Amino acid sequence: MDTFLSSRFFKNLFSFVIIFLISWIGFACMEDETVVKTPPSLELRLFQAVEKGNLEEVKSLLAQGVSINAKDSLGNSSLIKAVDEEETELTLFLIQKGANVNLRNTMGETALYRAVYRGNLNLVKILVKAGAETKAKTVGGVSITELADERGEEGILKFLESQK
């Protein structure tokens, strides 16, 4: 009876229980193949297409009725994403189709802010020509010109000053 209650017995039992629980939890966590997964929303597919620079997919999704000004969980519109990816052709297309150039994300950044952040003078010019607000500030109070100055974007600063 003493050997039955020995600490070696309890160590073996404890090891067995741990291994059993790990196996059971692993089995219980296996993915159920009978679960039907819903396809991604049109909006999510739009953002993914923009990130990949897939203009044809963007056109297709817009034709299916997805809003050109839809926002992701961070408040980024398809135009902000296109500018952030420095997709000039996609940016021009979205503007031509009526994308709002002054939409803001949750940080208060606009497409113009992202173009300045990227140091892309060509996109800055496109957005300003399309009516982007040059005096906009982020939630933190950073203006477009302050950002350009902070990032050492002399060409962008000169262009923005010429727009006053």
Q: Is the pLDDT of residue 2 over 80?
A: no
The answer for residues whose C-beta is within 8 angstroms of residue 25's C-beta and 6 or more apart is none
The 3-state DSSP class for residue 150 equals: helix
- Of all residues in the chain, the percent with pLDDT exceeding 90 is 73
| Measured distance CA(95)–CA(50) in Å, rounded | 13
pLDDT in tens, 112-159: 999 999 999 999 999 999 999 999 999 999 999 999 999 999 999 999
List beta partners, residue 71. 77
Which whole number is the average pLDDT over 82-91? 96
Please give the model's pTM, rounded to 2 decimal places. 0.76
152 HSE (CA, 13 A, CB side): 0
Are 64 and 48 in contact, with CB atoms under 8 Å apart?
Answer: no
d(CA 144, CA 61): 31
**Residue 95 Cα distances to 49, 87, 90, 134, angstroms:** 16, 12, 9, 17
